[in-house]
């Protein structure tokens, strides 16, 4: 019912978004006589602000058409290396492969937590010059037909294993936030079964491996509400207009509301600053705002089974650090990992995954030799800063590149 009401609201806002977009153009386009009226700048800014608050945000494009390899500008093209019901494995193929054929292969496992994988655009951009990059591009559950069946947290683990097997034993697996848990589970089970395709290394960034360490607001929400509360209050069925009609999901619009509610003052200030930038003609700052919210406001629906499994397994019962997680009858035991190097990265100011939550992987993977384990805490860095922005590009990415080549 709530999803249907949301769709009704969208149907009302769509004409408003179109009208305000037109109004903004009328008061800003140099060919429009209204652009030369005394209040044209104020009107254009007001119309654009309302337009952006009311518009529907689709999945952004990756927009990574070029990169530099050995100082040379080369073209980049996207190819689907493997296609599954709920995920496509995307390869960012660089032209002139002969110049970079020895570059390490990175499997970048993107989070399935409300945003599209394009949230890691800056991550991919910084990795591309010196790595062959593959990214898990998770599909919006409302676009997956109900005939495809359910998708659970254990299915996520199996997907990761399939991707690792496809890319071979020389791959380095890098996980950002939520997937650190299923990635560690996937490699743990592969190690316990003596599989020959174990990756060279695991790079884990800002993930909830042990949420008992420095719990955040996100962690507290999961523990103050019961499993049945989440099942009854945040799970809804996809409306008839989508391919996934009837599928149970955790809707993206609810996740987005949760994101906004965590820092409402910050978002209000950001929109006010955007309005003032438009008035002042500060195009660079205004465009930066547009780029950020084009990504931030584009959300996807998560399969209900996966979402509820994550709440229970990761945030309520801490099954991975407690050693009680079983997949297909086999206990997930990270101590089985002995020959895969481990690099954990945390942000000092991370308010999503608190300090120590990712680093706890070292205690769980205690059979990995100490000289093949490394940890780094990025000073003054929040959650998004460890994989996007200046600190990521200038400090963290070079450390990852050094670690990967050391373990290659």
Mean pLDDT, residues 277-293: 84
Tell me the percentage of the chain whose pLDDT exceeds 90: 66
Mean pLDDT, residues 109-136: 95
User: Fold for domain 66-223+302-407?
Assistant: Rossmann fold (3.40.50)
Is this model's pTM higher than 0.85 or not? yes
> What is the rounded distance in angstroms from the CA atom of residue 105 to the CA atom of residue 171?
5
Per-chain mean pLDDT for the chain: 90
Q: Give the pLDDT confidence of 87-122 residue by residue, as tens digits.
A: 999 999 998 754 456 899 999 999 998 889 999 999
Alpha carbon 397 to chain centroid distance? 17
Q: Where are the domains of the chain?
A: 1-56, 66-223+302-407
Residue 356 has a pLDDT of: 96
Residue 329 near residue 314, CB atoms below 8 Å: no
Alpha carbon 393 to chain centroid distance? 17
Q: What is the DSSP string of 148-189?
A: G----HHHHHHHHHHHHHHH-TTEEEEEESTTHHHHHHHHHH
Q: Give the pLDDT confidence of 196-211 residue by residue, as tens digits.
A: 999 999 999 999 999 9
Q: Give the pLDDT confidence of 346-369 residue by residue, as tens digits.
A: 999 998 999 999 999 999 999 999
């Amino acid at each position: 019912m709530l999803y249907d009401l949301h769709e009704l609201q969208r149907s009302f806002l769509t004409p408003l978004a179109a009208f305000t977009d037109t109004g903004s153009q009328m008061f800003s386009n140099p060919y429009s006589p209204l652009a030369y009226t005394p209040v044209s700048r104020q009107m254009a800014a007001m119309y654009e602000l309302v337009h952006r608050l009311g518009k529907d945000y689709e999945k952004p494009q990756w927009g990574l058409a070029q990169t530099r390899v050995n100082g040379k500008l080369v073209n980049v093209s996207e190819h689907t290396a493997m296609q599954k019901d709920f995920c496509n494995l995307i390869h960012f193929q660089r032209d002139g492969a002969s110049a970079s054929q020895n570059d390490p292969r990175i499997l970048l496992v993107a989070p399935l937590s409300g945003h599209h994988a394009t949230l890691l655009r800056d991550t991919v951009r910084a990795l591309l010059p010196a790595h062959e990059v593959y990214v898990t591009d998770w599909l919006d559950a409302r676009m997956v037909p109900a005939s495809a069946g359910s998708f659970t947290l254990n299915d996520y683990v199996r997907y990761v294993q399939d991707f690792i097997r496809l890319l071979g034993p020389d791959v380095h697996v890098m996980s950002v936030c939520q997937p650190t848990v299923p990635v560690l589970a996937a490699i743990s089970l592969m190690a316990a079964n003596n599989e020959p395709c174990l990756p060279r290394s695991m790079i884990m960034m800002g993930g909830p491996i042990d949420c008992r360490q420095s719990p955040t607001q996100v962690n507290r929400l999961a523990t103050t509400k019961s499993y049945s509360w989440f099942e009854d209050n945040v799970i809804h069925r996809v409306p008839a207009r989508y391919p996934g009609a009837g599928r149970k999901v955790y809707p993206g619009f609810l996740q987005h509301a949760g994101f906004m509610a965590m820092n409402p003052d910050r978002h209000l200030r950001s929109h006010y600053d955007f309005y003032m930038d438009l008035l002042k003609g500060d195009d660079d700052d205004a465009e930066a705002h547009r780029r950020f919210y084009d990504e931030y406001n584009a959300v996807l629906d998560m399969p209900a089974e996966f979402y509820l499994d994550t709440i229970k397994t990761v945030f309520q019962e801490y099954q991975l650090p407690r050693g009680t997680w079983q997949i297909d009858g086999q206990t997930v035991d990270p101590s089985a990992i002995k020959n895969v190097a481990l690099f954990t990265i945390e942000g000092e100011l991370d308010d999503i995954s608190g300090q120590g939550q990712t680093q706890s992987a070292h205690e769980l993977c205690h059979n990995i030799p100490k000289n093949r384990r490394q940890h780094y805490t990025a000073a003054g860095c929040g959650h998004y800063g460890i994989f996007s922005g200046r600190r990521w590009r200038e400090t963290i990415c070079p450390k990852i590149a050094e670690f990967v080549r050391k373990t290659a």
